[in-house]
Amino acid sequence: MSERWFKGLGKRPRFKSIRHYSGWTYPDSAGFKIESEGENGHLNLSKIGRIQMRGQAKYWGKPTTCTIVYRNGKWYVSITVNVLEQVLKPDILPVGAVGIDLGCKSALSITDGENHQLFDAPKFLKKAEHLIKKASIDKRRKRAPNRKKKIKASRRFKKAQLKVSKLIQKVGNQRQNWVHQVAAEIVSGNSFVATEKLEVKNMTRKAKKGKRKKQKAGLNKSILDVGFGMLRSTIKYKVEQIGGVFVEIPTRQVKPSQTCPKCGHQHKKTLDVRVHNCSVCGYIQDRDIAAAEVMLYWAKGILPGLGTSLEGADVASSTASTTKRKQAGSMRQLGQKKRQKSQSNFANYKLEDVETSSSGEAS
Ligand SMILES: [Zn+2]
């Protein structure tokens, strides 16, 4: 910091007490040493000492970087490790293939063409919302910090603030936990997943006017509460990790919610139409399931009426899966895509008693 000051670039260096640090990183393995085989263990930090850590890494390897983070009154360490690629692949790929529609009525609508499954979105934020509001109001009554007026935050303010951020973090943890469970369940039986190329940003954009405004707002809130972006990327990550195929359907080209999975007939549906009822072939199905079917069939190259090429779709695949699944022509492009090697893994640990050994009292 001070280097910038001496060059006349930055602000004058200010004394920073320990509570102004939210963490730091060891860029190479010189400053830290980890005594662990992936579960619990100890962390040796230079100039700080030996600290017990709690947690478990899914995959373990040689530690390369180490980051210490202070969040919500607790210290955490995030360790990057090099993982051998073979560790990540199961011997036998699960054989299932599914299409997934990420919606608002049900968080996920999953189909393999015969069996359908709906996952409801747990409303973690909605459940905790009133608690967060109450705690925030409580916080506002305490003396907040104001640097201009040189007012320090009161002890009660800090305490109240901690309460608020803990509540918010809990919602985040619950959501993450749920996302991982759902993704793990999907991947346990399927190695071929087709889903919409979804841009959450667009979906959460406010409807400008009219009757749809309220509808859109409700959809937005449920989208944000589920964390679809996280859900999608977790499913993708897990599918790719086992060497499966993750197909992203180009929404504008395929129009999953406007297309009949049985005959390919396209018919525009507004958001409030919950049932797919084909006027051409008479196929009746839940709107979201029908959309998931369209995605699955399109990815497999068996959607009637439309081209059967995977061109335009983002396909993540591995050579292992393409040799195992001989899905004829539409799969030919899969092998061309390079396999992304996920070699790095993060292991997050909670530090047990770093408060006492590091000089800073976390107040
Ligand atoms: Zn039809």
d(CA 341, CA 84): 10
Establish if 132 belongs to a structural domain: no
Establish if 133 belongs to a structural domain: no
Whether residues 204 and 307 share a domain: the answer is yes
Establish if 33 belongs to a structural domain: yes
Whether residues 64 and 92 share a domain: the answer is no
d(CA 60, CA 72): 27
3-state secondary structure 98-118: EEEEECCCCCEEEECCCCEEE
Strands (E), the chain: 23-26, 32-35, 42-45, 49-54, 62-71, 74-82, 96-102, 108-111, 116-119, 190-196, 245-249, 275-277, 284-286, 314-316, 344-351
Whether residues 231 and 94 share a domain: the answer is yes
Establish if 171 belongs to a structural domain: no
pTM: 0.66
Instruction: Please tell me the predicted confidence (pLDDT) of residue 156.
Output: 94
Establish if 296 belongs to a structural domain: yes
Segments in the chain below pLDDT 70: 1-6, 8-10, 13-21, 85-90, 104, 198-227, 306-363
Distances (CA, A) of 263 to 90, 194, 273, 277: 37, 19, 19, 12
Classify 323 as helix, strand or coil.
helix
Report the separation in Å between the CA atom of 284 and the middle of ligand 1, taken as the mean of its atom positions. Answer: 9
Report the separation in Å between the CA atom of 278 and the middle of ligand 1, taken as the mean of its atom positions. Answer: 5
Instruction: Please tell me the predicted confidence (pLDDT) of residue 211.
Output: 53
Establish if 147 belongs to a structural domain: no
Whether residues 302 and 313 share a domain: the answer is yes
Report the separation in Å between the CA atom of 119 and the middle of ligand 1, taken as the mean of its atom positions. Answer: 25
Whether residues 264 and 286 share a domain: the answer is yes
Whether residues 77 and 107 share a domain: the answer is no
> Per the structure, how many domains does the chain have?
2
Report the separation in Å between the CA atom of 266 and the middle of ligand 1, taken as the mean of its atom positions. Answer: 8
Q: DSSP for 212-242? A: HHHHHHHHHHHHHHHTHHHHHHHHHHHHHHT
Report the separation in Å between the CA atom of 100 and the middle of ligand 1, taken as the mean of its atom positions. Answer: 20
Whether residues 72 and 192 share a domain: the answer is no
Report the separation in Å between the CA atom of 273 and the middle of ligand 1, taken as the mean of its atom positions. Answer: 16
In total, the chain counts a number of residues equal to 363
Average pLDDT over the chain, rounded to whole? 76
Whether residues 24 and 70 share a domain: the answer is yes
Q: Which of 337, 286, 313 is nearest to 111 (CA)?
A: 286
Establish if 227 belongs to a structural domain: yes
Establish if 183 belongs to a structural domain: no
Report the separation in Å between the CA atom of 313 and the middle of ligand 1, taken as the mean of its atom positions. Answer: 23
Q: Which residues are 65's β-sheet partners? A: 80
Report the separation in Å between the CA atom of 138 and the middle of ligand 1, taken as the mean of its atom positions. Answer: 57
Domain of 336?
86-123+188-340
Count of beta carbons in the 10 Å neighbourhood of residue 354: 23
Whether residues 77 and 90 share a domain: the answer is no
Whether residues 336 and 204 share a domain: the answer is yes
Whether residues 37 and 109 share a domain: the answer is no
d(CA 237, CA 8): 46
Whether residues 224 and 252 share a domain: the answer is yes
